[in-house]
């Protein structure tokens, strides 16, 4: 991030999650002559490559660059893979279906 006043780089001093898709960060300009401190938001807005372990409560649109046919083909091949996730429980229902499964807690215990 750059300072909106002088254009110098700004660094994050603090940050807090507002939701699982939005984070608020406090920035400080590195130009000592400017000294501007400001708050910015970072938001996840769409999916480029879908998660192999999606959270059913997260609803993000696919990028217009992603072709659904290609994605469906990838997902069909993924169902036969021997890989087992280590950090998140598997969740493999139809991601384009209407009904979504129950929410699962992704945090490690």
**pLDDT tens for each residue of the chain, 109 residues long:** 999 999 999 999 999 999 999 999 999 999 999 999 999 999 999 988 888 788 888 888 888 777 666 667 767 766 666 666 677 666 666 655 554 444 444 444 4
Q: Report yes or no on 101 lying in a domain.
A: no
Residue 101 is predicted with a pLDDT of: 46
Q: Provide CB contacts within 8 A for 88, sequence distance 6+.
A: 53, 106
For residue 52, being part of any structural domain is answered with yes
Q: What is the pLDDT of residue 92?
A: 61
**Residue 91 covered by a domain:** no
- Structurally, the chain folds into a number of domains equal to 2
Residues 27 and 55 in one domain: no
Q: Tell me whether residue 50 is in a domain.
A: yes
Are residues 77 and 51 part of one domain?
yes
Question: What confidence score (pLDDT) does residue 103 get?
Answer: 45
The answer as to whether 27 is a domain residue is yes
- pLDDT at res. 93: 62
pLDDT of residue 24: 98
| DSSP strands (E only) in the chain | 10-17, 22-29, 37-43
Neighbours of 10 (CB within 10 A): 24
Question: Is residue 95, in this structure, part of any structural domain at all?
Answer: no
> pTM for the complete prediction?
0.58
In this structure, the answer to whether residues 15 and 32 fall within a common structural domain is: yes
Domain, as residue range, for 29? 10-43
């Amino acid at each position: 991030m750059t300072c909106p006043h002088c254009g110098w780089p700004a660094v994050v001093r603090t940050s807090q999650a507002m939701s699982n898709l939005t984070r608020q960060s406090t920035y400080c300009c590195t130009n000592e002559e400017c000294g501007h401190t400001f708050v910015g938001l970072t938001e996840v807005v769409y999916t480029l490559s879908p998660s192999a372990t999606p959270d059913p409560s997260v609803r993000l649109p696919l990028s217009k660059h992603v072709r659904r046919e290609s994605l469906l083909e990838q997902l069909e091949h993924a169902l036969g893979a021997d890989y087992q996730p280590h950090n998140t429980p598997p969740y493999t229902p139809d991601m384009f279906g209407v009904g979504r499964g129950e929410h699962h807690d992704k945090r490690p215990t």
